[in-house]
A and B are shown apart, each in its own frame.
Chain A
């Protein structure tokens, strides 16, 4: 974190036990934790406290978590991770399209949540500071120079391959939906041509992965999208 002050996280959950462990885990990780039990509280808190991160549980007593997300996104770009009990891929995609940076499905380990949260916050910082270089393991993507290197040597990519990698790099560590990638690379008419992505990702992996059948950099989230491995170099394995 570039800021001197410890980052503030707003935990929105109506279950006291969940809030307790989240508070403990987040405080251990250096966050200042605030919490809200309802969607209305959450919206008020985001306005007044301006947290650096929001962790939003979808099951709230007063309003649907998806609605809270949409209301919040109409005026705030705060990094936001959704806690979901619904392991329904279409639902995840909908939430991501509504502006969630990432999700974790309950039950989850603290490390997984922290990895997603830090990735989302880094994107925010990168956007604010204009830091152009994204690292994912041995891969470096210089978004300003449009140069991709693997272990120091330059990787030759087609324009669309680069565009794909660029989009993933901008959200490094967080999942990016198929629909978003397809729309940005091939345009809206191809929003549902998932097979374009499969073909391109296979080609990309052959260029950037040590073993394309066991990718460590360009990871698949089945039914949802792709994720570039954590920028700080940890590969897909999240310890804890």
Chain B
């Protein structure tokens, strides 16, 4: 493919030269018409320099070969018109012969000079363009407030430079872009990221050349660039321009102290991981002593010596209850960690809604001992398809809150009802209630109402966890209150399909 492309290129160049030669000859012809007029009407006999005009024009606009052709043709026509014997291409006198030779040399030098000047002018223009590109790029960099803007500017600038793909890796970017690069390029990127080299040039399967290099030779954290050069011949030239552009960009990145920011971001995410791992292992480590404390407290409470002494009996109860509460707090921390790591994966099954409520109440039997619990559950609720354990845990949180924020001796109303498309599990207490402000913030992570923060302990995680667990099961959670000290109702709404999709009856023979 590359070979065909190259031969096409060569044919194209030959065609262009032939065209240039033709135009040059036409210009010589036009000059000849003028020369003929000069001789015929003005009797000019020393007019041969007129043929320098087409040579000059050809040299400037068409290149060396057309200029040479123009010079040769010009010499012939000069001999024809201006040197004796006139109107022949033959030149007889030696002086005129020298004259014509001089003319030829002047024509050639002129054409060469014209051509060189033209090339230098073009080069100067190109340089000027490059400089203004680079300048525009610098201004863009100077105006870039963040690393992301700088990286975008780099990508755009280099893409316009090579007119092909430019890929940026690392530097906190989404690593998914790595798959965009062909296999050998990915390998080269990896080796540069490892620090094995600063720059590399590889060819991909399609024959395109890729230039791969660090954004900054000094700071590896700034990432790696892969530039698709295609079949561009002037790799060195491109490399130089990329160097220029990146020198500027790297300086800007350093000025912005992006390195530190990137490092911090990396450290932050590592800290987050560390924190979660710590929570995980600490919670696990805490549970064994907790199990011993709680178990020992229940043994003490059940032992005859303690059971006979009312004070000791209730003290052993305190130890047991507090151990249990601590265990719940640990469970909340673990659950919160699971939620923030998106590790909640509901195991849905058909379940009797009352089973969820009963099981939650059983788990909080002791916590609810000082309250009156009024249960109102419909006997014929539709089965719902949820993860019963998660929903139960959510319901436990709500029951905990009701017990926590309503006075002992008050009633907690618990109901399981249905509306047209949802099963509604509700807990209503006659406690502290919610102000409009509190209601708006309820369910946010770590939110705790200020009115009660001093007198009631808690982490502010409970309702947030409940919300997440219910949400994971396609349900929603709602808290309503008439206002401060008017009690609170928290409900879990779990959808069911009213028309169909109840489980088919089981065979009973």
Identify which of B284, B288, B323, B505 gathers the most chain A CB atoms within 10 Å of its CB. B288
Is there an interface contact between B288 and A215, defined as CB atoms closer than 8 Å? no
**Contact code string B350-367 (vs A, CB < 8 Å = 1, else 0):** 111011101100100100
**Is the beta-carbon distance between B503 and A108 smaller than 8 angstroms?**
no
Q: Which residues of A contact B503 (CB under 8 A)?
A: 195-196, 198-199
For A111, list chain B residues within 8 Å (CB).
Answer: 298, 302
Q: A160, B299: Cβ atoms under 8 Å?
A: no
Partner of B296, one of A21, A89, A201, A202: A21
Task: Kindly state whether residue B448 has any CB partner on chain A within 8 Å.
Answer: no
How many Å lie between the Cα of A144 and that of B70 in the bound state?
124
Q: A107-B323, A108-B295 are in contact. List 14 more A-B contacts (CB 8 A).
A: A24-B296, A106-B291, A107-B290, A107-B293, A108-B294, A109-B320, A110-B302, A160-B507, A195-B349, A195-B504, A196-B506, A196-B507, A198-B383, A220-B359
B residues with CB within 8 A of A: 284, 287-296, 298-299, 301-304, 320, 323-324, 327, 331, 347, 349-352, 354-356, 358-359, 362, 365, 375, 377-379, 383, 387-389, 392, 416, 503-509
B509 engages A240 (CB within 8 Å): no
Taking CB atoms, residues of chain B closer than 8 Å to A161 are 508
Given contacts A107-B324, A108-B294, A200-B508, contact A18 B358 (CB under 8 A): no
Collect the chain A residues with CB atoms within 8 Å of residue B299's CB.
Answer: 21, 24-25, 28, 110
In the docked arrangement, what's the CA distance between A155 and B358, Å? 25
Give, as a whole number of angstroms, the nearest-CB distance from A166 to chain B.
15
Once bound together, how far apart are the Cα atoms of A109 and B321, in whole Å? 10
Report A1-43 residues with CB < 8 Å from chain B CB. Answer: 15, 17-18, 20-22, 24-25, 28
CB neighbours (8 Å) of B351 from chain A are 198, 222
Give me 7 A-to-B residue pairs in the complex whose CB atoms sit less than 8 angstroms apart, sorted by A's number.
Answer: A18-B291, A20-B292, A21-B295, A198-B350, A198-B383, A213-B358, A223-B387
B321 CB → nearest A CB, Å: 11
Please give, as numbers and ranges, the residues of chain A lying within 8 Å of B379 by CB-CB distance.
Answer: 206, 212-213
Interface status of A153 (Cβ within 8 A of chain B) = no
With contacts defined as CB atoms under 8 Å apart, how many contacts are there between chain A and chain B in the complex?
135
CA distance in complex: A206, B439 (Å): 40
Docked pose: A222 CA to B507 CA in angstroms? 23
In the assembled complex, the Cα of A49 lies from the Cα of B304 at a distance in Å of 30
Question: Could you tell me if B288 and A18 are in contact, using CB atoms closer than 8 angstroms?
Answer: yes
Q: For B294, what are the chain A residues with a Cβ–Cβ distance below 8 Å?
A: 107-109
Nearest CB of chain A from residue B372's CB, rounded to whole Å: 15
A residues neighboring B (CB under 8 Å): 15, 17-18, 20-22, 24-25, 28, 85, 87, 89-90, 106-111, 158-161, 186, 193-202, 206, 212-215, 220-223, 236-237, 240
Residue from B288, B324, B389, B508 in contact with A85 in the complex, judged by beta carbons closer than 8 Å = B288
Q: Chain B: interface secondary structure? A: helix
Known A107-B287, A107-B324, A160-B509: A222·B356 in contact at CB below 8 Å? yes
Contact between chains at A222 and B388 (CB < 8 Å) = yes
Closest Cβ neighbor of A200 among chain B residues: B506
Closest to B363 in A: A222
Q: Are the C-beta atoms of B508 and A215 separated by less than 8 Å?
A: no
Q: Is the CB of B302 within 8 A of A28?
A: yes
Chain A residues within an 8 Å CB radius of B507:
160, 186, 196
Inter-subunit contact B355/A220 (CB<8 Å): yes
Interface secondary structure of A, over-half rule: helix
Least Cβ–Cβ distance between B506 and chain A, in angstroms: 3
Q: B389 and A222: CB pair below 8 A?
A: yes
By a CB distance below 8 angstroms, the chain A residues around B323 are 107
Known contacts: A21-B295, A108-B291. The answer to whether A195 contacts B359 by CB under 8 A is no
Query: Given A15-B288, A28-B302, A194-B350, does the pair A110, B508 have CB atoms closer than 8 Å?
Result: no
Contacts of A201 on B, CB cut-off 8 Å?
352
Q: Closest CB of chain B to A205's CB: distance in Å? A: 9
How far, in angstroms, from A87 to B356 measured CA to CA in the complex? 16
* Cα distance A200–B505 in the bound complex, in angstroms: 9
Residues of chain A within 8 A of B296, CB atoms compared: 17, 20-21, 24
CB pair B508–A220 under 8 Å, yes or no, is no
> Ordered nearest first, which 10 A-B pairs have the shortest CB separation?
A195-B503, A196-B506, A17-B292, A195-B350, A106-B291, A107-B294, A107-B291, A25-B299, A109-B298, A213-B377
Chain B residues closer than 8 Å to A110, beta-carbon distance: 295, 298-299, 302
A160-B508, A193-B506, A198-B352 as given contacts; A214 in contact with B295, CB under 8 Å: no
